[in-house]
Structure 1
Amino acid sequence: MRAGSPRLLREINDRAAIDALLRDGPLTRSELEYAIGLSKPATAQLLARLEEEGVVVREGLRGGGRGPRAQLWAVNGSIANIAAVDLTPRGLDVVIADVSGATLAEYLHPQSARGTADEVVGGFRQAVVTACEMAGRTVEDLTHVIVGAPGAVNPRTGHLWLAPHMPAWEGFDMPGRLTDEIGVPVSIENDVNLVALEEMSAGIAVETRNFVMVWLDQGIGGAIVMDRKLVRGATGGAGEIDWMYVPDRAAADTGIPPTGTRFGDLVSSPSVVKLAKAHGIAARNGWTAVTRAVQLMASGQQQGEPFLTDLARRVATGVAGLVSVMDPELVLLCGKTGLAGGETLCRLISTELRSMVVPRTPVAFSALGVNAVRAGALHSALAVVREQVFGLTGHITEPSRRQVVSPADA
């Protein structure tokens, strides 16, 4: 055996133990022994060494059954801390967690996306500082921050674009400026990309290698995953399907010419409300209109089906090009409007797609709940920090920072 091999094997075993404790812990010694395949003495020595180094801690006792209760072991979460932020036109939703994944604090900071760059950047710092204080931490205790933002961040300049509803955040190196502001590395990722990452971690795309995600909400967005890697594009704009110009195949007249308009203008919440009104369904927003239509269909009334069929035609027209080129395993709907449509809207979109393209791609709706963007940012930040601290290769790699374009492995 070559010199240095025992040390290498020890490092490999340490990483395997830490990975098992992060994934399934807290664990007893015997449970960890089974998980990583070491002998009883080797596992005991490993735990003793990691405890001395402050990497693992004792976490109570396993109760139940006959005989003595067994000591539980867990990763020492205080080794590192992260922040995940969902940035919207209305404000910042911040969560602070330790490296074990335990949530330490959540904070919602109202803030307009208009005004000056100094105002929004200052508000960002205030939000992170307040969340850290709630968690009993300081900003200096953070190892990394990941922000989910609407639009795209150009990896060469750090500038946010394709986000006209976020004017105060445009025109400057966003990750660089935020990093300088709080003194902690900050990465920016498109919000829908983070939802796609979360779907691969904890949603219905856990075993899916290629899929298209369509975000139907107040605004419209998308994400493309190929071979379990996010496709970001040369300027960060891959998946920004709301800017595609497509024809309007809806039967109802809502003032949009059949030659079409932007996809985002066809299926955004205000446009869905207009389409619903043309079919005799009144609603304040797109998801309420879709919910009412689904309820009408479920009760045997036919009023909801023509509206949902028209909406499905619009969605399918925007997605057809991606499906034809990619031939993905799945089209996944998310966002409030997409989730409101559920299986009914998925079925209608699938029917429309089959009349337009060759691939018979199934359409499904996201299994994720609220805060999907923030959850995706949290998992991504944990993967980054766990690789930095423990050498673990996570299922999600770091979103691009300025002048760095590296696809996210899932």
Structure 2
Amino acid sequence: MGDYNQSVILDSIRRAEEGLSRVELAASAGLAAQTVSNICRRLLDTGLIIEAGKEASGPGKPRTMLRLNPKGMYAVGIHIDPALTSYALLDAVGTVLLSLDEPTDLAGDPFEVVAAMGAKVRHIIDESGVDEQRIAGVGVATPGPVDAASGTVVNPPHMPGWARVPLRDILHEITGLPVIVDKDVTAAAVAEVWAGSTSSVRDFVFVYIGTGIGAGLVLNDEVVRGSSGNVGEIGHIIADPDGPECDCGRRGCIKVTCMPETLVAQARAAGVLPEASPDEASLPQDMADLAQAAAEGNPAALDILTQSAHRLAGAASVLTNLLDVERVVFGGPFWPPLAPTHLATIPALIEHYSVTTSVHSVNVVGTMVSSGEEAFGAACLVMENTFSPNAARLLLDSKG
């Protein structure tokens, strides 16, 4: 209960741009004034929060405002995509202090590749000069499926040979830091909650467009992970009943109609892009070239991206109708080249497909996380674990 209450206080302070006084914290958290005072004293002693001046609010003594201490805690994020692996170091208020990316090594032994990632984290920490005792941990965002209980990635479709790779154990051994492993789509949803901390929207679906496509889910302001940590596997939602055959035996699944490699293949077949052998490492540039061709008015390129937008809108509407959410957020490494055509097409389609149009609209937006900062979401897994209250923390185990 003490940990939960502390998380409530930290989360309330985090969400208040100007900070909060102890009196305001007691009112917002529904806790006794003495409880709030004790928690705040402990947080001040550990350096997680600071007193940030006084503010008058009517008669009586000015109240001391409390804010997060940017230097009170840090987190490292690793975002693994089959095309690119990125790293970021964040302070307690979410400022990216250092970031870098490199092509993902799919040819090497996965265990050695992950060990090299750990060495890269050590290098980032050493280069940053931050107090290592203030680093709360390493967050890892990886393509699914994952075994969340053991921190293991299990046969991601676009990463051959990565069969049950124990990311958490390897990285903990190399870095000496606590490690949290989660799916890339879940980390993206966490990042959106973190980046949009003052938003009034408490329920949304995050459609993640990386080398693969998945969905993150936030309900009642809490990230949903599912029974095994694998929520959001939407690759076999049918986006085009007349589309190509999928390996599941059906036709037109997202997996074979909407993914970046599919769009690039269509662009090559239409002469928009030059013929070349498939290479996931070239996907970012290929997608950028396809988007540029569409922006310049190439009709074939426009048709490919518009068709993709229609298919994704249909798939997203399945989620919005099932879950009755207020917003759909699109993001991920390959979202930027798709954004112009998709944001021009998808909102009206979602509104048309929605069964709740007469009750509420469904807002369609692009992610608040900047392109190229996917590792921000991975680091936010650590921040969420520290700052965000979770009702599960109140549950006792069967022996309790």
What's the TM-score once normalised by structure 1's chain length? Answer: 0.67
Residue 376 of structure 1: aligned partner: 377
Shift of 1:119: 0.3
Residue 342 of structure 1: aligned partner: 339
- Say if 1:20 and 1:216 are closer, same or farther in 2 by CA, change over 3 A: closer
Shift of 1:183: 2.8
Shift of 1:168: 5.2
Shift of 1:272: 1.0
1:266 corresponds, among 249, 257, 260, to 257
Contact 2:9 2:25 in 1 (8 A): yes
- Say if 1:287 and 1:242 are closer, same or farther in 2 by CA, change over 3 A: farther
Residue 67 of structure 1: aligned partner: none
> CA–CA distance in 2 between the matches of 1:334 and 1:35?
35
| CA deviation string 1:343-367 (max 9, x = no partner) | 5423433455566663444433334
1:328 corresponds, among 325, 338, 348, to 325
Matched, 1:128 2:121: yes
Residue 309 of structure 1: aligned partner: 306
Residue 212 of structure 2: aligned partner: 219
Contact 1:330 1:362 in 2 (8 A): yes
| CA deviation string 1:201-228 (max 9, x = no partner) | 3249932232222223433222122222
Shift of 1:16: 6.1
> CA–CA distance in 1 between the matches of 2:272 and 2:304?
8
Contact 2:155 2:164 in 1 (8 A): no
Give 3-state SS (helix, strand or coil) of 1:241's partner: coil
Residue 149 of structure 1: aligned partner: 142
Matches within 5 A, 1:156-171: 156-161=149-154, 163-167=156-160, 169-171=162-164
Contact 2:192 2:369 in 1 (8 A): yes
- Structure 1: runs of 5 or more not aligned: 1-7, 39-44, 61-70, 387-393, 399-403, 405-410
Contact 2:235 2:254 in 1 (8 A): yes
Give 3-state SS (helix, strand or coil) of 1:316's partner: helix
> CA–CA distance in 1 between the matches of 2:324 and 2:76?
36
> CA–CA distance in 2 between the matches of 1:210 and 1:166?
32
| CA deviation string 1:326-380 (max 9, x = no partner) | 2322222223554334354234334555666634444333343124422223333
Give 3-state SS (helix, strand or coil) of 2:235's partner: helix
What's the TM-score once normalised by structure 2's chain length? Answer: 0.69
> CA–CA distance in 2 between the matches of 1:259 and 1:312?
21
> CA–CA distance in 2 between the matches of 1:282 and 1:384?
44
Shift of 1:187: 0.5
Tell me the amino acid that sits aligned with residue 263 of structure 2.
V
> CA–CA distance in 2 between the matches of 1:139 and 1:353?
46
Matched, 1:237 2:234: no
> CA–CA distance in 2 between the matches of 1:109 and 1:138?
26
Q: Which structure is higher in RCO with an 8 Å CA cutoff and minimum separation 6?
A: 2
Residue 364 of structure 1: aligned partner: 365
Residue 57 of structure 2: aligned partner: none
Structure 1 or 2, whichever has the larger Rg, is 1
> CA–CA distance in 2 between the matches of 1:54 and 1:140?
11
> CA–CA distance in 1 between the matches of 2:66 and 2:150?
45
Tell me the amino acid that sits aligned with residue 120 of structure 1.
V
> CA–CA distance in 1 between the matches of 2:117 and 2:77?
12
Shift of 1:126: 0.4
Tell me the amino acid that sits aligned with residue 323 of structure 2.
M
Matches within 5 A, 1:150-229: 150-161=143-154, 163-167=156-160, 169-203=162-196, 206-229=199-222
Shift of 1:135: 1.6
> CA–CA distance in 2 between the matches of 1:315 and 1:51?
45
> CA–CA distance in 2 between the matches of 1:270 and 1:17?
42
- Say if 1:205 and 1:225 are closer, same or farther in 2 by CA, change over 3 A: farther
50-59 vs 90-99, which deviates more?
50-59
> CA–CA distance in 2 between the matches of 1:84 and 1:193?
14
Give 3-state SS (helix, strand or coil) of 2:111's partner: helix
Identity across matched positions, percent = 20
Contact 1:84 1:94 in 2 (8 A): yes
Alignment size in residue pairs: 359
Give 3-state SS (helix, strand or coil) of 1:187's partner: strand
Tell me the amino acid that sits aligned with residue 385 of structure 1.
T
Tell me the amino acid that sits aligned with residue 234 of structure 1.
S
- Structure 2: runs of 5 or more not aligned: 28-36, 54-63, 275-284
Contact 1:82 1:145 in 2 (8 A): yes
Shift of 1:112: 0.9
